Amino acid sequence: MESDDVAAALAQAQANLAVARAHLPQSQADRQETAIQFERYQKLLAEQLVSRADFDAAEARYKRAVASVSADSATIRAAAAALENTNIRAPFDGTVLTKNADVGEIVAPFGSASSARAAVVSIADMSSLEVEADVSESNIQRIKPGQPCEIVLDAYPDTRYPGAVSKIVPTADRAKATVLTKIKFVEHNERVLPEMSAKVTFLSKAIDKSETNSAKKIVIPPAAITARDNAKIVFVVRDDRVVETSVELGGEVGSSLEVVSGLSMGDCVVLNPPEKMATGMKVILGEK
C-alpha cells in the first residue's frame, strides 16, 4: 500500500529524536554544573550572597530537555505504528493462489467492499488441505473422527493417499439427506492442489504403508454377490450376455468387498441379480 507520506513523517520524527539526543549531554552537563553551584550557594545562602534562581533555571532547562526526548521518542513510536498499518501481512504462512487486485486499485475491508476490491490475494496453507465428502444420513453412524480413509484424486487415479476423518460437520443437508465430513491427508504431497475432485473410501482399519500405492485391488459392491450351491457368485456381462462366475472374497474395503480371485480388472457385473438369472441370458446395458 502507498506509504510515502507516512514514511516521510517517520523520517522527520527520527531526525527530531536525533537532535534531542544530541542536546541531552549538554543539558546533563548544565544540570551537573548547577548542582555543584547549588551546593556552594547553599552554604552562602544564609548570608544572602547567592540566589537559588540560577540553579532552578538550569534544572528547569534539563527537565525540559528530558521531556523533549521523551516526546520525540513517543512521536517516533507513533510514526512507526502508522507505517506498520500500511503493510498487509498474511495471518499464516501459505502460498498465493490468485492475485485479486492490481496496482492503483482501491482495496477495502470485506464489510465495505461494494465498490472496491475486497481482497488483495487469495492464499492457502497447502499442508492443511482437506477433502469434503458428503455421507448419507443412513451411513453417518459408521463414521467417526480419526477414522482411516483412502483418498483417490481424479487427476491421479492410480495413486491412493492415506487420510483420516478430521471433522464431522454437526448439521445435515435436508435437500440431499447427507452430512458433510472433512478428511485430512496423513502426509502432505505437493501434487495435491486446492479444488481438485476426489473420491474417499472410509476404512474399518488403516492400510499398511507398505501396501499403499502397491498392486491394485478389485472390489465390487455387495449387491453384485449372490449365493448359488453354497458358493459366492457374480454375473459378469460379456457380449451382452451374462456368465455365472464363482469368486473368492477378501476383506471389506470401505463399503465394497475385495475380490481375491474370479474377476479381472474392468469386468462389468450385474447388481441385484434376480433368482432366475442364468448363464447365457441376454441383458441390455443401461446408460451411465
Range(s) of the domain holding residue 99: 95-124
175 is a domain residue: yes
209 is a domain residue: no
Core vs surface per residue 242-268: b (16+ CB within 10 A) or e? bebbebebeeebeeebebeebbeeebe
Give the pLDDT of residue 285: 77
229 is a domain residue: yes
Give the pLDDT of residue 148: 92
CATH number of the CATH domain containing 229: 2.40.420.20
90 is a domain residue: no
Tens of pLDDT, residues 173-208: 989 999 999 999 998 888 899 889 999 999 887 766
d(CA 221, CA 232): 13
Give the pLDDT of residue 211: 53
As averages over each run of 10 residues, the pLDDT of the chain (288 residues) reads: 69 69 62 62 60 63 65 66 70 85 74 61 87 92 92 89 93 92 91 91 75 66 87 89 89 80 87 88 76
Cell numbers 534562581 correspond to what residue? 53
HSE at residue 272, side-chain half, CA atoms within 13 A, is: 0
165 is a domain residue: yes
Q: Are 79 and 60 found together in one domain?
A: yes
The number of folded domains in the chain is 4
pTM: 0.49
Q: Are 12 and 75 found together in one domain?
A: yes
CATH number of the CATH domain containing 175: 2.40.30.170
d(CA 261, CA 220): 12
Give the pLDDT of residue 35: 61
